[in-house]
Chains A and B, each alone.
Chain A
Amino acid sequence: MLRNDTGLHVPQPDRRPGDEADFSELRIPEAGKLHRPPIDTAASEMREFAFGLLRVLDDDGQSVGAWAPAVSAEALLRGLRAMLLTRAYDTRMVRVQRQGKSSFYMKCTGEEAVAVAAAMALDREDMCFPTYRQQGLLIARKWPLVDMMNQVYSNSGDRLKGRQMPVFYSSRQAGFFSISGNLGTQYSQAVGWAMAAASDRDRRISAAWIGEGATAEGDFHYALTFAAVYRAPVILNIVNNQWAISSFSGIAGGDEAPFAARGLGYGIPSFRVDGNDFLAVLAATLWAAERARSGFGPTLIEHFTYRVEGHSTSDDPSRYRPGNEGATWPLGDPIARLKQHLVGLAALDEEAYQVLEAEVAEEVRVAGREAERLGTLKEGARIPASTMFEDVYRDMPPHLMAQRIQAGV
């Protein structure tokens, strides 16, 4: 065929609004089938992990195979609670946005395991370089909800002094690096942090997150190159939730190869993991953390998941995808799947689960009331506007002092 006849290939998702959601084409490998290689395995030996799908929880919620992590039911209950708390927090913060008390919010519904299981696998001192959709890291590290809410409200308790849009948290104490609106930038910064730690013989490692859409950014390439060249102790996570706002993953290159497969070309051992399988995320992250701490270098983990909600409160997903896609996602819901596992272990029953749900709802409600006492975006106490001139530099230069006076604030 003449090349001109083929035309320009522009990838399209299989289903659009009005179509029935249908994931029957998606090949989901059985849980527990992959072996567990040693942590010093070369990237060239890991093709089946990058092109396959690491799953630990089977359809009955049993933890099966070589990757089943040795983790107590108590620890898993803590993970379940953190995921539930994350979801309850998201629910309230969207509601207050709709009430006009904040300008913006972004949920992580369906992706709770990606952050919470990673937080459980990492040491508390390891440094996270998240995107705007890993609030579960802060919650799993028991960072106060009130502090997070203060940021969302830009109220008088906001440590970031009302300078950042909602959800762009920062907590040095919680090892949660400042979130930037510029996609991908933190991915390569995480590598620099890890290089610095290595040069100090520090046993701490760093972990970075990026969405599958932002893997198209140059910073993704920089991060993988530098991580591989200097064998940086970093875990490079890709959260493939299928959607970058309205663009399906094919627009980011996902139709041609799994995102995990890209790591192999840089010489980085890479996994594609069932992102809704709490135990699989936990197990892969533990493997990667041990590898990094042992001086073998970086690992790339693609978390295969689904963005159940809209991109943000400014987005309406019914304009570009079938309405019921989230409900039919074949890898299910991370909370429901871990719950099923814990019920199977007799560590949880329906009654205890409902108590847990009520508990987290109350925790969010109490925090919400406390945060709102410190003000919301347009009501109540505010940080003085004069502070907007501070922290541009360590010391305020004369021209900013002059502008502060001119502003009359």
Chain B
Amino acid sequence: MTMIDAIRDAMDVALTHDPNVIVFGQDVGYFGGVFRATEGLQRRHGVERVFDAPIAEGGIVAVAVGMGAYGKRPVVEIQFADYIYPATDQLISEAARLRYRTAGEWWSPITVRTPYGGGIYGGQTHSQSPEGIFTHVAGLKTVIPSTPYDAKGLLISAIEDDDPVLFFEPKRLYNGPFDGHHDRPVTPWSKHPASEVPEGRYSIPLGEAKIVRPGEDVTVLAYGTMVHVALAAAEDTGIDAEVIDLRSLVPLDLDTIVASARRTGRCVVVHEATRTCGFGAELAALVQEHCFFDLEAPVERVTGWDTPYPHAFEWEYFPGPTRLGKALRRVIEV
């Protein structure tokens, strides 16, 4: 399966297993989504369970919060993460706090799926990585898969979770793994072992990272497209990097991170989002707090620049394997 197939399959499984699951968003119903993530779901599960919504992100999330209060388990789509901002009041002030402010009387078992990330010439409003805005919010969970297998298992967990989950889908990975070598042909998922996706229901717990490449020299903390970039950078440089795919940013698998960084004594954090106050800042702070006496070099961050995402300068902006490779060499040579 491609990542799109896996995501669609996860919703199909959830719709089949739980009559309270409802899927909606812009172009999600009859048309099956602009990325085909919901194709066929309305035909299979009916228009009352999978339907089109008006172009109003704030309304879509608000309605989901209301449905959650009723007892439904809404899975809504925001067409691009770049357009999630009109819904931030409902996400931050409402969904995230409902359980807390009512001491558990009500809660928001909602999942917000949204394609994110660059590397597709998406320019300013089809490339952003706003995860750091939401990881800062108490009460929200943030999940980002990097393979079809993880996408299905994590999305099923997100839907079944009783807390509000933001599920950011790296659209650059929808049809195949992408390692940042934009000058080479992209391989389809079918050539990748993680495209083997089991039928039916399975889940991957939120809050568990995965070591995708064991190594001894340096720990690389990555998620989404950057997982594949990190693997390429290790390959290109020959540095024995341990690449950790965080998979879930909140809750965070601190134990796996700390154990690895203590062992390697070096750490590089990589994400597409802009640097200042990005999630990498939290990761770097946690690593220095918990691994200070084991660190042989300062923690490095390889990120998008602190600019809006440009169109023509896609590959100068995108933190590819060359930039990451340089950082790996820097922390090794200290």
The answer to whether A168 touches B101, judged by C-beta atoms less than 8 angstroms apart, is yes
Scan residues 158-181 of chain B and give those whose CB is less than 8 A from a CB of chain A. 161-163
Q: How far is the CB of B55 from chain A (nearest CB, A)?
A: 10
B126 CB–A CB distance under 8 Å: no
Contact of A225 among B22, B54, B64, B138 (CB under 8 A): B54
How many positions in chain B have a CB within 8 Å of any CB in the partner chain?
47
Q: Tell me which residues across on chain B come within 8 A of A194, comparing CB atoms.
A: 66
The answer to whether A178 touches B106, judged by C-beta atoms less than 8 angstroms apart, is yes
B102 CB–A CB distance under 8 Å: yes
Contact of B58 among A191, A199, A219 (CB under 8 A): A219
Interface residues as binary, A156-200 with B (CB distance below 8 Å gives 1, 0 otherwise): 000111011000101110000110111001001111111111010
A171 to B65 alpha-carbon distance, docked (Å): 17
B297 CB–A CB distance under 8 Å: no
Interface residues as binary, A4-48 with B (CB distance below 8 Å gives 1, 0 otherwise): 000000000000000000000000000000000000000000000
A398 CB–B CB distance under 8 Å: yes
**Chain A residue at minimum C-beta to C-beta distance from B69:** A193
Binds A, one of B35-43, B87-95, B311-319: B87-95
Q: Tell me which residues across on chain B come within 8 A of A397, comparing CB atoms.
A: 207, 250-251
A159 to B54 alpha-carbon distance, docked (Å): 37
Q: Tell me which residues across on chain A come within 8 A of B90, comparing CB atoms.
A: 185, 188-189, 219
The answer to whether A193 touches B89, judged by C-beta atoms less than 8 angstroms apart, is no
A142 CB–B CB distance under 8 Å: no
A3 CB–B CB distance under 8 Å: no
Instruction: Given the known inter-chain contacts A178-B105, A222-B56, please indicate yes or no for A394 contacting B162, CB distance below 8 A.
Output: yes
A197 to B22 alpha-carbon distance, docked (Å): 13
A229 CB–B CB distance under 8 Å: yes
The answer to whether B62 touches A188, judged by C-beta atoms less than 8 angstroms apart, is yes
A182 to B92 alpha-carbon distance, docked (Å): 10
Instruction: Given the known inter-chain contacts A195-B67, A393-B163, please indicate yes or no for A188 contacting B59, CB distance below 8 A.
Output: yes
B200 CB–A CB distance under 8 Å: no
**Chain B residue at minimum C-beta to C-beta distance from A198:** B48
The answer to whether B105 touches A159, judged by C-beta atoms less than 8 angstroms apart, is yes
**Chain A residue at minimum C-beta to C-beta distance from B65:** A189
The answer to whether A225 touches B106, judged by C-beta atoms less than 8 angstroms apart, is no
A272 to B105 alpha-carbon distance, docked (Å): 34
A218 CB–B CB distance under 8 Å: yes
A256 CB–B CB distance under 8 Å: no
Interface residues as binary, A382-393 with B (CB distance below 8 Å gives 1, 0 otherwise): 000000001111
Q: How far is the CB of B18 from chain A (nearest CB, A)?
A: 14
The answer to whether B69 touches A170, judged by C-beta atoms less than 8 angstroms apart, is no
Instruction: Given the known inter-chain contacts A178-B101, A195-B63, A226-B59, please indicate yes or no for A392 contacting B106, CB distance below 8 A.
Output: no
Contact of A170 among B66, B89, B102 (CB under 8 A): B102
Q: Tell me which residues across on chain A come within 8 A of B53, comparing CB atoms.
A: 226
19 more A-B residue pairs beyond the given contacts A195-B63, A392-B100, with a C-beta to C-beta distance below 8 A: A127-B69, A181-B93, A182-B94, A185-B90, A188-B63, A189-B66, A192-B67, A193-B70, A196-B22, A222-B56, A223-B59, A226-B54, A226-B59, A392-B139, A393-B99, A394-B161, A394-B163, A397-B250, A397-B251
11 contacts between A and B (CB under 8 A): A163-B103, A172-B106, A180-B101, A185-B93, A185-B94, A189-B90, A219-B58, A222-B59, A225-B56, A226-B63, A394-B99
